[in-house]
A and B are shown apart, each in its own frame.
Chain A
Amino acid sequence: MSDQAVSLPPATIGREALGPRGPKPRHTFSRRNIFLYGTLIVVALYYLLPLYVMVVTSLKGMPEIRLGNIFSPPLEITFEPWVKAWSQACTGLNCDGLSRGFWNSVRITVPSVILSIAIASVNGYALANWRFKGADTFFVILIVGAFIPYQVMIYPIVIILREIGLYGSLSGLVIVHSIFGMPILTLLFRNYFSSMPEELFRAARVDGAGFWGIYLRIMLPMSLPIFVVAVILQVTGIWNDFLFGVVYTRPDTYPMTVQLNNIVNSVQGVKEYNVNMAATILTGLVPLIVYFISGKLFVRGIAAGAVKG
């Protein structure tokens, strides 16, 4: 497509007067631009379509859904499906809506995020600045362990949690999230702390600061960005989890994703697509808000987690 821009004869290069860039000024509506932006816009529409359909469906009444087309905007906007999804939708015998799952998810996510980041940041700090014999071995096991399918470790963890009496409780799930968040977060923090100037650490040691002193007074205040990245990573990851929620909690402590799936895929009753879509948006709302607010940091989080690996 754009090779015409390139195929100018080498003779033009000799003429310094034209500057190094050659034939830069081009039409805004050149074929290249039309192709480029056209493709991007079409793809962007495709990516936005499901979100649009979700929102539109959730604002329609059931009669309108049965008659119409899923892409058409609602003729009559109603918020009833949202209210119903939040406070009346049924899972099994409970008919108190998604709100229960929402609060369960909050009670799972908040402690899990705090605990997993606390553990992983200290681990990363120990690995970066206080290497002890064998530390790297454990770290490699941890990283390789991140690739083991969860299904392999699910049942042993059930047994461990049952032994310590936490199976089925929210605290049990918090521990599970901290365990499985550890590899990626430890990697993130280790890399970050390793990139900090060594002299800083040495100076603090000379001044007599110990392990925790340096961590709390020097490392922690200097590494706020990476903590924000870790929080973003963990909030979205834990909120979106389904497998651990369904394995390690009971129906009354199910996180939002599990409850959502039970509401939408329940076989009894008439399907209320508008309520289902409202419930789906409600569940996706928290990570979406995190995503749109965090912007570049979100990208940095996944890139740090992925490319560095």
Chain B
Amino acid sequence: MREIAYYEAKFEALNEIMAADPTVHLINGTFLSLSPHRHVYQELANKYRDRVMSPPISELGFCGLATGAAMAGLRPIVDISTGSFIFEGWPQVANEAANAFSMSGGQTRVPVVFHLFHGLRGGGAAQHSASPQAMLWNNPGLEIVLPSSPRDVKGLLKTAVASDNPTIFVDHVQLLDVKGDVPENDSPIPFGLAHVKRKGSDVTVIATSYMVQRCLQVAERLASERISAEVVDPRTLVPFDMATLMTSVEKTGRVVIVDETHQSCGVAAEIAARIVESGFDKLKAPLRRVSTLDVPVSYSPPLEDYIGPREDRIIEAIRAVLR
């Protein structure tokens, strides 16, 4: 098996997508945030000069432009870059793109991808650290994807571009240098398929995005204490694979959900509600959420570290459900 970095897998996908489909355009950012690996973007931009667009800082304008272009038959991929900036384009994403298929009675398809980096990034503070996926999950009509590994980012990005729906591709800068196995000529990964990232028998840890990597480290640590944690990654919020999650929940009877959206009405809250609704009787202990605290993200490192789903909070939650 071939091991490559997450950002390399992502750009392999972008290169293959651009080569295969001339209706795909990249609009706005570099898909790398401030990562130093700019050369991979530059090579792509040089190769597809006419299909890599650099609009002015007008999120409302270019999110709408991409949506309208999708309505007219193109398949644009917009890089909103910092997730907080989706609020600038929100009316076009949430009120136009998301509603169009339903509102037109199925006449209008909107195959646009909105890519963004969410979450705590190290000094982003309140206006550069948003995780808008919970708000977006509350907005029917969008598909929402959260990759957590090199193989997933490649396979899911291909499916996102092929989808006829507006798709939010939620990435995390802390993942860009993660290494992992990515087979040559790998197949796209269908939406709605959760993935068991680590097998275990004592507790089900459901994690999304970068939190999957953190939870895998936690699971490794706890293994030395003979705690066997199963780490399950939903990979897509819409569509959502309840069956894989419940198979694990039925096996362990103990659940911790780790996610970087804020706690109230967050991603973990919704997953918790679904588990309780469909399998309350399978739980041997109250489930626990580890989310970002319900406060605006602070700038200073100790403050930022404190509010996120820290490793010690995850371990404490796992111990609590095992009691």
B partners with A: no
A interface with B by C-beta (< 8 Å): none
